[in-house]
Structure formats: C-alpha cells, structure tokens
Amino acid sequence: MKGQLGIMVATKDSLDHLLGLVAAAEKQGVELVIFLTGEGVLLTQDPRFEQLAGRAKMALCEVSFRAHELKGDVPGMGFKDFATQAKHAEMLEDCPRYLML
C-alpha cells in the first residue's frame, strides 16, 4: 500500500496507537497526514509527542487547542498548522484512506 493515509485523532489516550501506526506506515512507505481535534489535542502535552515531528504532515484544530486552555509551541508544528476544521475537510478529500482514533 502506497499513497497517503489520513488519521484524525479525537481521543486523549491514543498516543501509543498513533505512534504504532506511524511506525507501520513508515515501513510500508505510506505518507501520513494527521489532524488532531477535540481531546486529541491533549496528546501534544505528552513528551512522547515530539517523536512524531518530521514523520507526518500534522495539523490541529486551534479551537480545540484553545478550548483546552493549551498554549505554547507544539513539536513538529508551525503557526500555519494551527488550523480550522477546513484543514480536516481537506485531509478527507486528499487522502484515499482514513482512520479515526
């Protein structure tokens, strides 16, 4: 399987699973696109989250990030990666395969 795989993360207890999916996708040469929303943005506070930096295209819902009163930089994400749900919709359109955590 080649191509892109989109992963929408909306749960706060899914980092282990996400890291495993990233490793498996890398072995298969699959490009990953990850969008964090809802409680999924809380994964950014786990020190292990930085293991994702540079391994996938990532974005997060800025509204969810602020709603959880989170602040500061997120490893592997720049200013433009703090997005709206429109970014999530783009991922749905662009990725032929899609998972939800």
Span 18-55, pLDDT tens digits: 999 999 999 999 999 999 999 999 999 999 999 999 99
Q: What is the pLDDT of residues 63-96, one digit of tens each?
A: 999 999 999 899 999 989 999 888 888 888 889 9
Tell me the CB-side half-sphere exposure of residue 65, using CA atoms within 13 A: 19
Domain carrying residue 14: 4-100
Rounded to two decimals, what is the model's pTM?
Answer: 0.92
Closest-CA residue to 33 (of 80, 82, 98, 83):
98
CATH number at 86 reads: 3.40.1260.10
Q: Per the structure, how many domains does the chain have?
A: 1
Q: Are 10 and 41 in contact (CB under 8 A)?
A: no
User: Is residue 1's pLDDT more than 60?
Assistant: no
